[in-house]
Copies of this chain bind each other. A is one copy, B any other.
Amino acid sequence: MSHSVEILSVGTELLLGNIANLDAQILSQGLSELGLNVFWHTVVGDNPQRAKEAVAIAKERADIIITTGGLGPTCDDLTKNVLAEAFGKELLFHEECAQRIRAYFQRIGREMTDNNLQQAMLPEGCTVLDNDWGTAPGCAFFAEGVHVIMLPGPPSECRPMFQHRARPYLLSLSEGVIASHTIKLFGIGESTMEAQLREQMNAMSNPTLAPYAKEGECELRVTAKAATDEAAQALLKPTVEEMKRLFGRKVYGVDVPSLEYVVLEGLKAQGLTIGVAESCTGGLMAKRLTDIPGASQVFKGGIVSYTNEVKNRVLGVPQDLLDQHGAVSAPVALAMAQGARQALGCDIALSSTGVAGPDRDDRGNEVGTMFVAIATPRDSFVRPLHLGSRPVRERLRIQTASHAFDLARRYLAGLPYGKQT
């Protein structure tokens, strides 16, 4: 039988828009990977009557109900009460859970108030899902043909609770295995990619091919369903290879988290170090590199030069270059990268300069006019960018930083730096 899943989230903060429903996203991703069909997301507030009605609807149409939120003492354990009632179950005190809750408070060094023990009241006959990431335990039971799984609301608890508690429980329910690979591309637009692939995508059923665009990058997710992981991988392989052939140098990796991750890994493999000189990206390049744990092995530092004075004094960009071409120019981008190599003592340096907006600069350069450059032991190269003024400031900065990282990953992969954009 093919399962149908409803994710039911309980929390007034969702209905007020204080937070987005990340739980539903996290669970949907995980459930899709298990080959389980999520057909509905529902959100209700901390209101017993409306929660009860929502459960009645879910019970009618879904055969797996996964709830998030409404488990803690502040909402009177609304979710457990409503679900237990809907399936005619009592809530019973669970001594083992109570002990875990007491131990949790001891571990974090905070005093436990009595209302926390309410959380040890659980539906009779349920499987307890221990919560190592917070206080409220989750639980699962099967009744009247429906699997019910309750998880805590905070994403920092919901995510590991799904991964380590609910997922093993659900694995036994899913038929076959879903496997996928994500091909990451830089330097191609989503519409161009889609146009190239449309016919093929429509003709495919297993594996399937789905394109995504985000922040100036593209992804292609290839997904296959089979009886075993090996069989699914065998289905995936030819398509992944074909896509790599088709998009060539634009593919920067498969199943890698980001461009900057690929750059850091390439540097480590080749024993090289990196540094950055940033104007328009204002620290974002350094930030993105150092977001990755272990960046310190290869990242020496960065200089954010937001004035000509700093470009000249710290990066050694010649004053006459600044006077002649202006800060937003190819020669200055190159000089910044070369200067950063010297000042930071690194093998490879990247630079950015441009107009992130909202206004054009005093030399009349339009918003979206950017230059990124690389300086290496072998050569220097500058890539001019015309990103247009439509993207917002934040997106312009992200895309500019990505272009600089693209230069580095091309250098490390022995590829030409590529044409202007």
Contacts and interface: CB of A to CB of B under 8 A. Distances in A.
Contacts of A17: 24-32, 38
A91 interface: no
A20 interface: yes
Contacts of A358: 293
B301 A304 contact: yes
Contacts of A24: 14, 17, 20-21, 43
A307 interface: yes
Interface stretch (A82-90, A114-122, A226-234, A280-288): A280-288
Contacts of A286: 278, 282-283, 286-287, 304
Given A301-B304, A313-B343, A40 B50 contact: yes
Contacts of A295: 282, 306
A270 interface: no
Contacts of A16: 28-29, 32, 38
A57 interface: yes
A302 B304 contact: yes
Contacts of A302: 283, 302-304, 306
A289 B304 CA distance: 11
Q: What size tier do the contact residues of chain A reach?
A: 35 or more
A25 B44 CA distance: 13
A192 to B, nearest CB: 12
Contacts of A278: 283, 286
Contacts of A296: 306-307
A22 interface: yes
A337 interface: no
B290 A283 contact: yes
A166 to B, nearest CB: 14
Interface string A84-106: 00000000000000000000000
Interface in A108-140: 108
18 contacts: A14-B25, A14-B28, A16-B38, A17-B26, A17-B29, A17-B30, A40-B42, A42-B42, A57-B57, A282-B287, A283-B288, A283-B289, A293-B358, A300-B310, A301-B306, A301-B310, A302-B306, A304-B304
